[in-house]
Every structure is written in C-alpha cells, then in structure tokens.
Structure 1
Amino acid sequence: MHPTATAPPDLVIRGAHVFDGRAALPGLYNVAVSGTDVSAVSAVSAASARPPRGVREVDAAGGWVVPGLIDTHVHLYDVAAVTDEASLRAFERDRLPGLLGRFPRYGVTTVRSVGDPAEAVLGTRARIAAGTVPGPRLLATGPGITGRDGHPAATVLRRNPWARARFAAEVDGVREMRDLVHRLADQGVDAVKLLSEGACAHGDAPGYVWRVPPFPDAVPLVRLPRDLLRAGVEAGHERGLRVTVHTTQQAAAREAVEAGTDGLEHGVTVEPLTDDGLVTLLRDRGVTYVPTLWAHDANHPHLRGNVRKLAAAGVHVALGSDSFTGHGTFGANTLEEAALMVAAGMTPTQSLAAGTSGAARQLGRPDLGAVAPGKCADLLLLGADPTTDIGNLRELRLTVLDGGIVTGERASTGHPTSRRPPTGRP
C-alpha cells in the first residue's frame, strides 16, 4: 500500500516575524493555514531542505504576522436611527453591512456586541457565520441588563421607548434577573453584560444622578442592587457564560468583583483608583479590565493613570473601544484604542496582547488571539514591527479571517461557510 499524500496547506505566509499573541518570537517563520486553522508555525533556517508549499503563498518579506485584532466592546445598532421594527430592518439592510465590512479592513477579525437587541444581533451573527453578510466574527451579549430606571435605559435611551425595551433590559428582583439571564442563554448569547451604575460620582444614597457630556441633563439614576448583581453573575455562570459588568467608580467595581464577575467594562473612570485592595482583588481573581479609552479618555482625566496602575500591577487588560455608530470609524477606533493604551503607559507589546490573547481571554475563546498550530487562522500581515511602534498596526498588508484572505493580496470575494457554529463558539 502507498502512504496517503498529505494535502498542502491552503495558505503559507513565508518569511515573517511573528507576534504570537503574547510575545515576539525570535527569528523568521513560515505560517501555514489549513482550512480554518493555523496548521504550522515553522522557523526559517538555511538548513530547511523543504520549506512548506501552499496552495496560496504570500511572501512576507520580513513583515510581521500577528493575530487578528479583537474588539470586545462595540455597539453595532444605531439607537438614534432605530425607533421601530421598520427602521431596525432598514438599518440592517442599508447601513449595517457597510459598518461591519470596515472592521477587517483595519485588521479587526472579531468583535463583541455589548448592548444590542438580542434577536436582531443574533440574527446578524448567524448571517455573518453563513457568509451572506461580510464582516468580522461576531459575538454578542444581547441587551445590557440593568435595574429599573438604571443606565442606559433611563439615560441614553430615555427618549426612545421602543429602543429602551430592546437595547436594555430592566429588572426589579432576583427572580426576574435569573429568568432573564436564562432566557438570553436559551437564545444563544455568548456572554452576559450587567450594568451596575452610570457614569458619575455619587454617595450611598438618593440624589445619585447621571451627568455625562455631551448630554446636558442630570438624570436621577438607580443603581443595580447587590443581590441582583450577584444573581445575574451566578445565573450566567450556571449556563457556562462569562459575565462582565459596566462600572465607572471603584466602589461599584469592587461590588462587581466581589459578586464574581469575570470582567469590568470601563472599570474606574470618574475618579483616581486609590483602592489598592481592589487592584489586588482584580489581579488575584483574574478579572479582565476593559478600559474603553477611545470613548472615555477625553472626558475622564483619571482614566489613563488608572490603566497604567492596573497594567503595572499585572491585572489582565483587554481591548474594547466602546465604538458606536456615528462616531469615528469602526475598526479605526479599535486601532486608536490600542494607541491610547500605549499613551496611558502600557508597552506596545502589552497593548498588542490586550487586543489579541487578552481579548480572547475576556471572550472565553482560547481558539482566538494567538498564532499557533490548532488556533483559528485569524491573522494579519503587517509591513512593520508593531512591538516597537503600535502605530504600525496601520501598516496592514493582509487580513486572514477564519482561514480566508478577506483584505489585501488576492483577497477572496467572501469567506467559506460552515466554519464555526452560528453561536460563534468553538
């Protein structure tokens, strides 16, 4: 009997430096892709008698292969434009495909929606997975869960009752919280987002108000009670879902961590982080911190210092831009977030890790965010070294998404169907 010939890889990127999601590897490598996965990362050497051949080959010419970027905090649907079912469908038909298509052009291969209507965003996720709508891999929490008259229901959504009922979910009690989380899990969300409080300082009491530029009004706001917070975290964990909590103050952040959250969205933005015990708690419990500098750096002078302190202490940091429609450009905002992390005091390597392996950790997706055999083939080829200058993320030559070239040299017209389950999970 003759041995079965091994099929060649579908793609080989030759002669590249590699940032594997955590660190730069020494020397040059050939990166092979078979199907939807990385099949080999082999060192280039003069002794190599037979370098791997691929169906497609790209000469990296000493460029850099890095994992596709992951933005863990985006809002895809435009709450200003969506006021009823007809306008929702019009947005999905006329604007959303173009918005989604921007992400891969900037090297963003995975995004997580954190506060869009569940049925709508999960339908979009299924269409992307089926290849009928181009875009990045999409994960979603569905609506953000908040207390009755909490943020964002009583704040940014207060003048749009139709959207308020769908972009946010208001709960009054523990049973209602648990039932809602289980319903969302049944629908197939990838994670759960809870909102503890809004974006302003407050005491323990009544008189707590939301006051945020560019919204001129002071809105009385209700905090999510601790028992509801804990119930939401526990119910999410019962269904095998990671839970992340929106906070802006260190007291609220501590409550969320003590309730068992896996991540903090925004974290501590409105005040300096003086609670060293909270920093230790974040690190020791492995909670991921998503600072969303792109959206909040300009209005919160303490934010950069807080990020610097947390990164220096060894807290896990993940990239999330808090991008929303009408401000900046999807994808470009993600690159700006990476640059702002460096401006805040993180190294370029730390920022890259936050946007790749750190973001994959926040998503609970170990198959993403790395360049290694067996990992999902979401890859970027850059023309310059991003580990010395984070701005080199803009030197994009090629985006590979789930094994298919979607931007750059010999780009595919689409990407194959039947890649990952429609849930977006491995």
Structure 2
Amino acid sequence: MPQGFSTASAAHDLVVRRAHVFDGRRTLDGLHDIAVDGGEITSVSTEPLQGAHEVDAAGGWVVPGLIDTHIHFYDVLRVSDPASMRAFEEHELPEKLGLFLDHGVTTIKSVGDPTDGILATRDGIAAGALRGPRLLATGCGITGRDGHPASTVFSGNPWARERFTGEVESVQQIRDLVHDLADRGVDAVKLLSEGACAHSGGPEYLWRNPAFPDGVALERLPLALLRAGIEAAHERGLRVTVHTTQQAAAREAVEAGADGLEHGVTVDPLTDRSLIDLMLDHGTTYTPTLWIDDAHPDARGNLKKVADAGVPISLGSDTFSGRGLFGANTLEEAELMAAAGMAPAQVLAAGTSGAARQLARSDLGTVAPGKRADLLVLSADPTADIRALRDLSTVILNGAVDEHEPPSR
C-alpha cells in the first residue's frame, strides 16, 4: 500500500505531482505525489492525487526545506546604537530574510542576536508581516565575563555588546539569565565555552582573527557556570548548544550535558576516540560550520571522523551579515560538508531531519504524513550531487507556494 494512501477522488489543498522524493533520511522508490492540507503533509502516494492547486515536479526531486541551525542575523559590524538598529530593521531586514527562502532555506536558528530584536522579528514572520523562513532564536549568546564574542567581535561596540551577548561571572548570574530568556520565550539556549582558549590559571591564549591580528586574551567559561547554565535551561525544557573549538572544551561541554556542539572541534585534530564515543552515548549533535571554519586544516577531517562514527550531524553555517549572501551561504555549507567526505544523502539528512533533531522539532525536516509542509522542488538529483540544491524551481513553506521569483544561479 502506498505511504499515506489517499484515494484519487479526494481533493487536497495542494498536490506536488510526479516527484522523486528524498524524505529527510532516505530516497523513496519510484515517483510520488505529495498532498498538503492546511500546512501539513497528509499523503505521500505512488498513486495520483488531486489538489485544488498542483505543482508538477515532472520527474524532478522533492526534499524537505533546508534548515540552517546556526546563523547570526543582525549586522554585528553596523548595529551600534538605536538609530543604526532601526535602520537595519527598516531597510535591510526584510530583504535579508527573504534571501533564505530564495535559496530553499525554510527554517533558521539565530544563535546570538539581540534578544528584543530577534524575538520581535520572529513574531513578525509568524504573524505574516514579514516574508521569511521559520525563525527560532536563542536571544543573546551567553559567555563568561570578557569572553568571546563580547571582548572580541564587540570589543569596540559597547552598545551592541550589551545586547548581542550576556556576560556572566557567577552561577547565580547564569541561572538568572537563562530563566529570564526562558520567560521571554526563546526557543533554545546558546552558551559559549571558549574561543579556542585555555582554562583560567593555564597559559595565556590569544584569540586571533584577521580582524584582530594582535589577538585577544580569553578564558574559558568556568565549568561550574557551564554546568549551571545547562541545568537551568533543561529545567525550562530548552535544549542547549555550546560553542567549542578544542577537544578539551568539547569533552567538557558533552560531559556537562550539552545537547549539541556548535563548531565542534576545529583548531586541532580530533584524536580522542573516547570523545566520539561520549557524543554517541549522549546523542550529542555536531554542527561543523565549515562556512566559517573551513580555513582550519583539521575541520573537514574532524567532521568526516564524527560523521563516519554515526554522531548526529546538523547543518549550520555560522552565516552573518557582511560576507556572502544569506541562504547562498547555507548552500555553500552543504557543499563544503560534501567536500569533507560526507555523502550527498548524509548532507541532505544533516540539513533536514538531522537539523530538526537538533532543534527538537519532530514536525520538521521530513516528507511524511503529519509533518509540516516545508518542501523544495528541484530539477536535478541532490542525492547524486549536492549542488543540485541550486536547481530550485519551487519553495513551499507551511503548505503555501512561495511566489517570489528565485534568484538566478
């Protein structure tokens, strides 16, 4: 019997006809029709279905809408006071949001934007006032006093530093901040363990970046605060991902109960097999962010090791305003993951069902009855070549065809 069988006489709100389907985990055999009613997939059938509106895939491919689990939306370099914040929101924000949909990204997770602004943007999208992808947000990223990115990216921008980051220096402060964010309705919590730095009391570590050639001295978020932040978030039912770059910091975060690692291990080779086993035991998600970290010589090899071992992988680009293009950067991340040695189907899973797992959103990332109808119609086979994600003909978000003309590729 076909999956989600529906009789041909039944009329649905929308039907995508005659498509090969990658359902978020595997490729289904043969061609399928996909029926949508009220924003939800109601049938995936080998039999023809009828809809009030139809999209003919013409033997092309349907995959779940892409999910980017690590983005920074507000312009960290240009937002520096109330006037520049308003200017960004009024003149740049709508177009930048739309770019994600133009490239087939139907869900994004902001992990370190000003809490008030990003939550208002999330509400505007949900209310239909803004065209954009489904937006989930952590609000500000939580770091130690003078930690990354407070004393790095925002060292010369005190106004933004107070809003993009939450600096804490005691267990009580981090618990209070996490509970405050939970009260305000964030979707998850992001903690920043380090920016590739040593423990307090250890040798000085200088964080280096092309924008900061002289380096910035940093210390890791103290372990007691890391544990307290994760514990407080879990008390509120929120998942926690932790920014790490070193093996030692990654192990510390996993042992403290982190649900995911942002960046993972990038600045040194992942040689500790027991760390991989620990991630497997805990079900920890690994988000490689190669779009920003591919310059590190070990980043690709480390991703290949954890992917081959079966560690859950989620796609997250660490994209931000000022470099590349929102949406296009997500596609580049997928291509970099494939270049690191992941099979195209593995990359597709990381950007759909794997990303949905990281978000704890079981309604997303899968083409199956009962799931949200976020769908991409492609002209070519992405399971053979991940670059086929650029051959996008139709974007469907919450069961509605996005009528905006996709950019030429």
Matched, 1:400 2:396: yes
Distance 1:115 1:326 in 2: 16
- Is the 8 Å Cα contact of residues 71 and 111 (structure 1) preserved in structure 2? yes
Matched, 1:234 2:237: no
Matched, 1:35 2:7: no
Please give the per-residue CA displacement for 1:152-173, whole angstroms capped at 9, x wherever unaligned. 0011110000000010100010
1:124 equivalent in structure 2: 121
- Is the 8 Å Cα contact of residues 197 and 220 (structure 2) preserved in structure 1? no
- Is the 8 Å Cα contact of residues 14 and 31 (structure 1) preserved in structure 2? yes
- With over 3 angstroms needed to count, the CA separation of the structure-2 counterparts of 1:181 and 1:203, relative to structure 1, is closer
How far 1:8 moved relative to its partner?
A: 2.4
Q: Out of 5, 25, 29, which is 1:26 matched to?
A: 29
Q: How many residues were matched structurally?
A: 398
Distance 1:64 1:171 in 2: 48
Distance 1:294 1:141 in 2: 21
Q: Out of 321, 324, 330, which is 2:326 matched to?
A: 330
How far 1:215 moved relative to its partner?
A: 2.2
Distance 1:169 1:7 in 2: 53
1:251 equivalent in structure 2: 248
1:140-179 map, 5 Å: 140-179=137-176
Distance 2:173 2:200 in 1: 27
Matched, 1:62 2:59: yes
Q: Given residue 353 of structure 1, which amino acid in structure 2 is its aligned partner?
A: A
How far 1:212 moved relative to its partner?
A: 2.1
- Is the 8 Å Cα contact of residues 294 and 336 (structure 1) preserved in structure 2? yes
Distance 1:211 1:198 in 2: 9
- With over 3 angstroms needed to count, the CA separation of the structure-2 counterparts of 1:53 and 1:7, relative to structure 1, is closer
Q: Given residue 269 of structure 2, which amino acid in structure 1 is its aligned partner?
A: P
Matched, 1:264 2:261: yes
- With over 3 angstroms needed to count, the CA separation of the structure-2 counterparts of 1:308 and 1:407, relative to structure 1, is farther
Distance 2:209 2:43 in 1: 49
SS in 2 for 1:142: coil
How far 1:178 moved relative to its partner?
A: 0.5
How far 1:283 moved relative to its partner?
A: 1.2
Distance 2:139 2:402 in 1: 27
- Is the 8 Å Cα contact of residues 200 and 211 (structure 1) preserved in structure 2? no
1:268-347 map, 5 Å: 268-297=265-294, 299-347=295-343
Q: Out of 15, 20, 24, which is 2:18 matched to?
A: 15
Q: What TM-score does the superposition give when structure 1 sets the normalisation length? A: 0.91
Distance 1:220 1:363 in 2: 32
Q: Given residue 102 of structure 1, which amino acid in structure 2 is its aligned partner?
A: L
- Is the 8 Å Cα contact of residues 200 and 212 (structure 1) preserved in structure 2? no
1:424 equivalent in structure 2: none
Q: Given residue 215 of structure 2, which amino acid in structure 1 is its aligned partner?
A: A
Q: Given residue 390 of structure 2, which amino acid in structure 1 is its aligned partner?
A: R
- Is the 8 Å Cα contact of residues 150 and 165 (structure 2) preserved in structure 1? yes
Distance 1:269 1:384 in 2: 33
Distance 2:303 2:372 in 1: 29
- Is the 8 Å Cα contact of residues 399 and 408 (structure 1) preserved in structure 2? no
Distance 1:127 1:150 in 2: 32
Please give the per-residue CA displacement for 1:330-372, whole angstroms capped at 9, x wherever unaligned. 0010001111111001000000000000000001100000000
Distance 1:388 1:296 in 2: 25
Please, which runs of 5 or more residues in structure 2 have no aligned partner?
A: 1-8
SS in 2 for 1:101: helix
How far 1:203 moved relative to its partner?
A: 8.9
How far 1:407 moved relative to its partner?
A: 4.2
Distance 1:408 1:32 in 2: 22
1:79 equivalent in structure 2: 76
2:6 equivalent in structure 1: none
2:221 equivalent in structure 1: 224
Q: Out of 94, 98, 123, which is 1:97 matched to?
A: 94
Q: Which moved more, 1:371-380 or 1:53-62?
A: 53-62
1:195 equivalent in structure 2: 192
Distance 1:202 1:225 in 2: 8
How far 1:204 moved relative to its partner?
A: 6.0
- Is the 8 Å Cα contact of residues 199 and 212 (structure 1) preserved in structure 2? no
How far 1:34 moved relative to its partner?
A: 0.4
